Chain A
Amino acid sequence: AQSVTQLGSHVSVSEGALVLLRCNYSSSVPPYLFWYVQYPNQGLQLLLKYTTGATLVKGINGFEAEFKKSETSFHLTKPSAHMSDAAEYFCAVSVGYSSASKIIFGSGTRLSIRP
Chain B
Amino acid sequence: DVKVTQSSRYLVKRTGEKVFLECVQDMDHENMFWYRQDPGLGLRLIYFSYDVKMKEKGDIPEGYSVSREKKERFSLILESASTNQTSMYLCASSPGWGANTGELFFGEGSRLTVL
Contacts and interface: CB of A to CB of B under 8 A. Distances in A.
Interface of A: 9, 32, 34, 36, 41-46, 49, 51, 90, 94, 97-103, 105-108
Contact of A44 (B41, B56, B104): B104
A107 B103 contact: no
A45 B58 CA distance: 21
Contacts of A106: 42
Contacts of B102: 32, 34, 49, 51, 94, 97, 101, 103
B103 A34 contact: yes
A46 B93 CA distance: 13
Interface of B: 4, 30-31, 33, 35, 40-45, 48-50, 56, 58, 90, 92, 94, 96-97, 100-104, 106-109
Contacts, number: 71
Contacts of A94: 101-102
Contact of A100 (B40, B41, B50, B106): B50
